[in-house]
């Protein structure tokens, strides 16, 4: 049994939903799993955990600045621990952009940090127009129009492959370097 921390950065809450699923999978495998929002992580004692998993969403093509700050601030510890990183973005709904090595947002993030996570994943996100503020709804609908995604004003579309999330959770539960 390992003591695992999942730190997440989310804008609309979907990344947290993915973290909750990962937590459930890993707890079924007899691990103790804690969740922590990245904006609440400043005082966390990360050294008490055997493994650290970081999940982050993007908005307008960027991961949130506090994600990079957290990684840079804790890089040495992350390098010593069993670690993983996953990104949640709607572009991952497309074949050829749904793997860490082909997802442009994951690749951009990896170029901007020096930490080398032992495990990587990319999950397709969710469009939830009714929850967005006016400006976000307008911008995201435009982006979806340009990329042939859903643009219906009241659309709620979850592109997440939940089986892929479960498999990632099982892989992390093995706590190995493979």
Q: In the chain, pLDDT over 70 holds for what percent of residues?
A: 98
Taking only the tens place, the pLDDT of each residue in 103-120 is 999 999 999 999 999 999
Is there a single domain that holds both residue 83 and residue 147? no
Report how many domains make up the chain.
2
pLDDT band of residue 176 (cuts 50, 70, 90) is low
Is there a single domain that holds both residue 107 and residue 39? yes
Taking only the tens place, the pLDDT of each residue in 20-57 is 999 999 999 999 999 999 998 888 899 999 999 999 99
- Quick check: is 58 in a domain? yes
Is there a single domain that holds both residue 120 and residue 35? yes
What CATH number is associated with residue 104?
3.40.50.360
Average pLDDT over residues 152-160: 94
Is there a single domain that holds both residue 132 and residue 59? no
Is there a single domain that holds both residue 104 and residue 131? no
- Quick check: is 82 in a domain? yes
- Quick check: is 147 in a domain? yes
Q: Which two tokens stand for residue 108?
A: 């951009």
Is there a single domain that holds both residue 54 and residue 76? yes
**Residue 151's domain spans which residues?**
127-158
- Quick check: is 88 in a domain? yes
- The residue to which tokens 């370097």 are assigned: 177
Q: What is the model's pTM?
A: 0.91
> How far is residue 70 from each of residues 14, 57, 107, 111, 164, measured CA to CA in Å?
20, 14, 18, 16, 26
Chain centroid to Cα 43, Å, comes to 21
Is there a single domain that holds both residue 44 and residue 119? yes
Is there a single domain that holds both residue 108 and residue 148? no
Taking only the tens place, the pLDDT of each residue in 82-102 is 999 999 999 999 999 999 999
**Which element (helix H / strand E) includes 5?**
strand 3-9
Answer yes or no: is pLDDT of 177 > 80: no
- Quick check: is 81 in a domain? yes
What pLDDT is stored for residue 44 in this prediction? Answer: 87
Answer yes or no: is pLDDT of 16 > 70: yes
């Amino acid at each position: 049994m390992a003591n695992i921390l999942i730190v997440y950065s989310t804008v609309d809450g979907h990344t947290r939903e993915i973290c909750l699923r990962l937590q459930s999978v890993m707890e079924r495998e007899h691990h103790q799993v804690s969740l922590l929002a990245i904006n609440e992580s400043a005082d966390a004692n990360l050294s008490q955990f055997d493994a650290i998993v970081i999940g982050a969403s993007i908005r307008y093509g960027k991961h949130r600045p506090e994600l990079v700050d957290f990684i840079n601030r804790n890089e040495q510890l992350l390098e010593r621990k069993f670690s993983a990183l996953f990104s949640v973005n709607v572009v991952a709904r497309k074949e050829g952009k749904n793997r860490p090595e082909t997802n442009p947002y994951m690749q951009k993030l990896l170029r901007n940090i020096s930490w080398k996570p032992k495990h990587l994943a990319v999950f397709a996100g969710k469009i939830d127009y009714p929850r967005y503020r006016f400006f976000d709804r307008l911008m995201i609908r435009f982006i979806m129009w340009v990329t042939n995604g859903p643009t219906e004003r009241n659309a709620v579309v979850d592109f997440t492959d939940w089986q892929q999330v479960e498999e990632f959770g099982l892989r992390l539960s093995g706590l190995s370097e493979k």
